[in-house]
Structure formats: structure tokens, C-alpha cells
């Protein structure tokens, strides 16, 4: 008897139902078992590195032949060092306190009822993402530790890498005693299926990670709650009282340390009073990393002798996420003008001020509307690992229900719990 072939959409629905069923079990599984699964994943990332790197090479070679730019190729690539880093990140999540089951805000009402909140998993977390296979690990381990099931749909450019990683995760989970179906992966690269995923009733929340086009499409078409973010137009404002050495080091790190990510610096804003002293030093330092500057008229004159490639800025340079070794430079007359520029062109991700003036720093913290706001530090710190969350499923630029790096607690909700002794409402 022939087995009836199911459609791609039917396969998605079957995986969704399996994830939903697994999520019900995940909600009350012990921390010990969840941590065992994470330790298995961390170990397997090292012991199975040859298999993972072989799969990643297929993706990388295909992407390079297709003409993928260097920034995206860097996001795609895995190597031994990155696998070791991923393994350490998994262990960091395992070491964190389990938020599930936490009882908080408990109080006794005048009628004797004891009322409080208990932290619970969200259920099934969907993730649609591009180019970065490490996201497969980050999202999976955070969902598992927080008692959720996960429904993964990576980009076609990482299909071999993600297939290998999901196989590793499911095997590690099963060995620990967690339901294997808590991790689901869409191995069909047909983009038209994304629209179907966004209407699936078995997914409780979805997180898009990728370019503006993907995030916008998911936000506009999803029937479930969407956690959006990831677009980072990040500014660093160098105030007139800034320590020059601090400012040069912070700008260099924010731009150069890893320019292809969302928390890298895009626009340098500087006060006119510090421009003559700061700009030549900054430009000379950035020139060592072959950074290209798009400068307004005032700043362009001051960087000509530094050896850096500099061109006149145009209107489209403001509010642009470069994801490369390019930055815009804007000179302002005041902190107020800097704040107005950020308000107009920022994406609500990460913003920084370099200043030795307490009042200016506090004004910046109070008045800048972004998920992460810094005084005298690099925006590159906006990251789940750097914030002590172990990893992140994404960086939210929304204000509900979470903002900034999304860690374990941000993947939970709560329910009200009430203890009574026979009370009835009068």
C-alpha cells in the first residue's frame, strides 16, 4: 500500500503540533534535566566539530560563489574558535538560574487571600532568521532552559549548517530525557512557506532576525505576537568634555571590533569644540583598520591629513546601518543638536555618549529613547552574553513585552496564583 505524500504545508503543521505537545511537557521538566541537555549540546559542539564544519563549508562555498558580500559571509562562517565560543555560551546559559516556577510579588489581601505571580514558559517560540548558524544554538538553548519548545526556520544560505546543528541538538536533548520534538526545524528552503508559518496557531510568539525586509514582512503578516528588533543604527556622541583617549578607543572598538553586527557604530557625532583635537586622532586610528568615513563639510576638512579614505556625506548616510567598515561623521553645536539627530535617525537599538560631564551624561541617559544607552562605553556590549544573560534570542527594540537582549526571563510569562481558605466573593 502506497503512503500518501503530504504537502509542505501539512508537514509544517505536523511539526507545529509536535512542538506544541512537547511544550506542555517542557513546562514542568526539572532544571537538572534541562541543564543536562545543555551540557550535552556544549560537549557535542566540540566532539562533532568536523561534521559541523564540513556542513558549514558547503554553505560558505555556495554563498561565496553566489556573490554574497563579505559582511554576510563573515556572519555565515563557522570555525573551531567560533564553535568553542558557542559551546562556552551554552554552558553559561546552563549555569544561570532557571526562571521557570519563580513565585514573586506574593501578598496577603485583607480578606485573607494570598495572591502572587508564578513565572511560566511562553510555549512555542518561532524563529525566522538569516545567515548566522550560531543563532540556531543560541535560540534553542535559551528556549529549552526557559521551558519552551522552539520552531526554527533559518535561511537557505545556511541550510547545511543548520541541518547539522539541529540534528546535534535533538540528539543531545533526547539523551538528556527532554522531548526531542521540543526542537523543530524547517528544512524546506521554499520562501513561500514563511507566509504559512506566520499563520500557524501552534506558535505562541515569533522572533525574526535578519535584515529590515525580513523583519518588516514578519511584523506585517504574523498572526501571533512578534518580537521585532535587530536593526541597529547606532550613534556615538563625543561631547565637548570627552576624554580624547577614551573617545578614540570607544569609537574604534564600536566600529571595528565586529562591523557586521547590529550593535556596531554607524554614525559618529561630535561637538564642534572638540573636533580639531579629536577628529585627526580618531581618523588616524580608524585608518589602520581601513575604515571609510562619510563626513559632513566641517569634519571633512579635519580628516584630510590623517590618511583615511573620506568622502562628503549625503543625506542617505544619516540613519544608515552600514554593517561594514564605513561610518558617517556629523559635527554639532550642542548636546541638544546631538539628541535631536539621534531622535530623528536612530533605530532605538544602542546609543552612546563619551563625556566627562555628569549632567550631560545623565541627560543622555534620560532623554535618548533606545533599548541600551551608554555613558563612556562601546555599543558593542549590547549582547546577551555581555549583559550576563548567557545568550540571546534577539535584541528587541520594542517596549512590550521586553526590550534589549532577550534572555531567559524574557522568554517567560507569568500566571496569577491564589491561595484561599474558603473565601467567596460577597
Average confidence (pLDDT) over 190-208: 95
80's CB contacts (< 8 A; 6+ apart) are 49, 53
Q: How many helices (H) and strands (E) does the chain have?
A: 14, 16
**Domains 11-227+406-419 and 234-381 alike in fold:** no
Q: For residue 33, what pLDDT is reported?
A: 98
What 3-state class would DSSP assign to 26?
Answer: helix
Higher pLDDT, 400 or 259: 259
Distance CA 391, CA 181 (A): 22
Average confidence (pLDDT) over 197-208: 96
Average confidence score pLDDT of the chain? 94
Q: For residue 345, what pLDDT is reported?
A: 97
Q: For residue 3, what pLDDT is reported?
A: 58
Q: For residue 2, what pLDDT is reported?
A: 57
Q: Would you kindly state where each structural domain of the chain is located, as residue ranges? A: 11-227+406-419, 234-381
| Percent of the chain's residues with pLDDT above 70 | 99
Cell numbers given for 233: 543604527
Higher pLDDT, 384 or 414: 414
Average confidence (pLDDT) over 86-105: 95
Distance CA 106, CA 419 (A): 10
184 in Cβ contact with 18 (< 8 Å): yes
CATH fold of the domain at 11-227+406-419: Aldehyde Dehydrogenase; Chain A, domain 1 (3.40.605)
Cell numbers given for 4: 500518501
Please say if the pLDDT value at position 64 is more than 70: yes
Distance CA 417, CA 426 (A): 20
Average confidence (pLDDT) over 122-142: 93
208 in Cβ contact with 142 (< 8 Å): no
Q: In what order do the strands lie in the sheet with 265-271?
A: 309-312, 292-295, 326-332, 265-271, 234-238, 350-354, 372-375
Q: Indicate the pTM of the whole model.
A: 0.86
Distance CA 66, CA 69 (A): 9
Average confidence (pLDDT) over 353-368: 98
Average confidence (pLDDT) over 266-295: 96
Q: Which CATH superfamily is domain 234-381 in?
A: Aldehyde Dehydrogenase; Chain A, domain 2 (3.40.309.10)
Four-CA torsion 244, 250, 256, 261, nearest 10 degrees:
-150
Q: What is the DSSP string of 114-166?
A: EEEEEEEE-SEEEEEE-S-THHHHHHHHHHHHTT-EEEEE--GGGHHHHHHHH
82 in Cβ contact with 53 (< 8 Å): no
Please say if the pLDDT value at position 180 is more than 60: yes
- Please classify residue 272 by burial: count the beta carbons closer than 10 Å to its beta carbon, then call 0-12 exposed, 13-18 middle and 19+ buried: middle
Q: For residue 97, what pLDDT is reported?
A: 96
Please say if the pLDDT value at position 1 is more than 60: no
Distance CA 58, CA 72 (A): 15
Q: In what order do the strands lie in the sheet with 103-108?
A: 103-108, 114-121, 412-419
Amino acid at each position: 500500500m502506497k503512503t500518501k505524500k503530504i504537502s509542505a504545508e501539512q508537514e509544517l503543521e505536523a511539526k507545529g503540533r509536535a512542538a506544541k505537545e512537547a511544550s506542555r511537557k517542557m513546562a514542568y521538566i526539572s532544571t537538572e534535566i534541562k541543564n543536562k541537555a545543555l551540557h550535552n549540546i556544549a560537549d557535542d559542539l566540540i566532539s562533532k566539530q568536523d561534521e559541523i564544519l564540513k556542513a558549514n563549508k558547503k554553505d560558505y562555498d555556495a554563498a561565496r560563489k553566489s556573490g554574497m558580500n563579505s559582511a554576510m559571509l563573515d556572519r555565515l562562517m563557522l570555525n573551531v574558535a567560533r564553535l568553542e565560543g558557542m559551546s562556552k555560551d551554552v554552558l553559561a546559559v546552563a549555569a544561570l538560574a532557571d526562571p521557570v516556577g519563580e513565585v514573586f510579588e506574593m501578598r496577603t489581601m485583607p480578606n485573607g487571600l494570598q495572591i502572587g505571580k508564578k513565572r511560566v514558559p511562553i510555549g512555542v517560540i518561532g524563529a525566522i532568521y538569516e545567515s548566522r548558524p550560531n543563532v540556531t544554538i543560541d535560540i534553542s538553548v535559551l528556549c529549552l532552559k526557559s521551558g519552551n519548545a522552539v520552531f526554527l526556520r533559518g535561511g537557505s544560505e545556511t541550510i547545511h549548517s543548520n541541518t547539522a546543528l539541529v540534528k546535534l541538538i535533538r540528539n543531545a536533548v533526547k539523551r538528556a530525557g527532554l522531548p526531542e520534538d521540543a526542537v523543530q526545524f524547517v528544512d524546506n528552503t521554499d520562501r513561500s512557506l514563511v507566509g504559512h508559518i506566520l499563520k500557524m496557531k501552534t506558535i505562541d510568539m515569533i522572533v525574526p532576525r535578519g535584515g529590515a525586509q525580513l523583519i518588516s514582512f514578519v511584523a506585517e503578516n504574523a498572526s501571533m505576537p512578534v518580537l521585532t528588533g535587530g536593526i541597529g543604527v547606532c550613534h556615538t556622541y563625543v561631547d565637548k568634555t570627552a576624554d580624547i583617549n577614551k573617545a578614540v578607543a570607544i569609537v574604534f572598538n564600536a566600529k571595528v571590533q565586529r562591523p557586521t553586527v547590529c550593535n556596531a557604530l554607524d554614525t559618529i557625532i561630535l561637538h564642534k569644540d572638540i573636533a580639531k583635537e579629536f577628529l585627526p586622532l580618531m581618523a588616524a586610528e580608524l585608518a589602520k583598520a581601513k575604515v571609510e568615513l562619510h563626513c559632513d563639510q566641517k569634519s571633512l576638512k579635519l580628516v584630510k591629513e590623517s590618511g583615511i579614505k573620506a568622502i562628503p556625506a549625503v543625506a542617505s548616510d544619516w540613519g544608515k546601518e552600514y554593517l561594514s567598515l564605513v561610518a558617517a561623521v556629523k559635527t554639532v553645536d550642542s548636546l541638544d543638536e546631538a539628541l535631536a539627530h539621534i531622535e530623528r535617525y536612530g533605530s532605538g537599538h544602542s546609543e552612546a555618549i563619551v563625556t566627562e560631564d555628569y549632567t550631560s551624561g545623565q541627560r543622555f541617559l534620560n532623554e535618548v529613547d533606545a533599548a541600551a544607552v551608554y555613558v563612556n562605553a562601546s555599543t558593542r556590549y549590547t549582547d546577551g552574553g555581555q549583559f550576563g544573560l548567557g545568550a540571546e534570542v534577539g535584541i528587541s527594540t520594542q517596549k512590550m513585552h521586553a526590550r534589549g537582549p532577550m534572555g531567559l526571563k524574557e522568554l517567560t510569562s507569568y500566571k496569577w496564583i491564589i491561595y484561599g481558605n474558603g473565601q467567596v466573593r460577597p
